[in-house]
Structure 1
Amino acid sequence: MAALSLLSVRPATPADEAELAELDRSTWSSLHAVVPPPVPPYEPFFGEWHPPEEFLVAEAAESAESAGGAPRVAGYLRLAPATPLASNAHVRQIRGLAVANWARGAGAGRLLLRAAFDEARRQGANRITLRVLAHNEPARALYASEGFAVEGVFPGEFFLNGRYVDDVCMGRSLDPA
């Protein structure tokens, strides 16, 4: 793996659609997905229920030895209101996080989470939640290391690869510590 230097996290734009769609397809895994692998014809990545405004994009530059060191998408995170209810407007929910296989271990996931905390605060939220499959230990460890705690479990919520898998609800405060 080439050495990576993370440059930034930025809001997604409609122009990111093709690259994010390809990243989403290339990172599909039963470790985190509850739907079958995508097959052509592919659904659009952005849509009415998942607009570009809900996505943050991590960009990385490869080392000077690689192809020009131009920034490329290393990952994305989808951050959305938890519900459309006014009584729940103070909560944001992470509804997707993907890191390119070539960028794993370089801190893109952590960078995206921290950017999501800042963006959620900017939007007026004071709490952030997510759901993760119980067997996704790497993701659960990352979330725990960033202050998320298990707040509930839906036992056997999904039947994946011939076995029942728990759905774990995690959350954390966005108030300054």
Structure 2
Amino acid sequence: MHQADDLIIRPARAEDEPELAVLNRTTWTPLADVGPRPAEDAGVFDETHTPDQFRLALLDGRIVGYVRVVPATPLASNRHVRQIQGLAVDTSVRGRGLGAALVEAACAAAREQGARKLSLRVLGHNAPARRLYERCGFVVEGSLAEEFLIDGRYVDDIWMARPLTD
């Protein structure tokens, strides 16, 4: 658990799903998401999206952010890599360092799982997220040009990573 000022970061629990689902819907944007907006009745947890994969940011007991960390692939030869597959911060609390705190919590979770590297994918047009990841020590390892068609525009898929070893 991470705590700074009134911020608490902790693993998700099954009972967090209703509040987490609302946050997931309200933070959805084509700037960051390639899939459709989640439906009003959509949950978050299922067989492949389990509570143990999520770290939540709470302010005054309210979920205001999350990060999801999973194995990059199911391959044994790739088990030393974890990947961020989802990061969101409520717009009402942005600019307070929650994104960076969640990224650091993701790094800590990945280290606890034995990972040596944390990777992620970010859309090329998502400058705020790219700046956040760069501030947190991630570097671009590659890109896929015009990988997605979002709102009538082709968007690059940027691959970034950070080593977790000293």
- With normalisation by structure 1, the TM-score equals 0.89
Q: Which has the larger radius of gyration?
A: 1
Deviations 1:8-56 (A, max 9, x none): 210000010001100000011110011122234x332100011001000
Q: Provide the secondary structure at the position in 1 that maps to 2:162.
A: strand
1: CA distance, partners of 2:37 / 2:82: 27
1:147: which partner in 2?
A: 137
Q: SS at 2:33's partner residue? A: coil
Q: Which residue number in structure 2 is paired with residue 117 of structure 1?
A: 107
Matched, 1:101 2:91: yes
User: What percentage of aligned pairs have identical amino acids?
Assistant: 51
Structure-1 residue corresponding to 2:32: 32
Kindly indicate whether the alpha-carbon contact (under 8 Å) linking 1:128 and 1:171 is maintained by their aligned counterparts in 2.
Answer: yes
Map of 1:55-66 to 2, 5 A cutoff? 55-61=54-60
Counterpart of 2:70 in structure 1 is 80
**Separation (CA, whole Å) in 2 of partners of 1:52 and 1:91:** 19
How many pairs align?
A: 163
Secondary structure of residue in 2 paired with 1:59: strand
- 1:125 counterpart SS class: coil
Distance 1:94 1:18, change over 3 A: same
Aligned equivalents of 1:12 and 1:39: distance in 2?
A: 21
Q: Secondary structure at the match of 1:106?
A: coil
Deviation sequence 1:74-100 (CA, Å, 0-9, x none): 100000000111111100000000001
Note the aligned Cα RMSD (angstroms).
Answer: 1.3
Query: Are 1:76 and 1:97, in contact at CA under 8 Å, matched by a contact in 2?
Result: yes
| Residue 59 to residue 125, structure 1, CA distance change in 2 (3 Å) | same
Counterpart AA for 1:54? Q
Query: Where does structure 1 lack aligned partners over 5 or more consecutive residues?
Result: 62-70
- Normalising by structure 2, we get a TM-score of 0.94
Match of residue 153 from structure 2: 163
Alpha carbons 1:12, 1:55 under 8 Å: kept: yes
Q: What displacement does 1:7 show?
A: 2.2
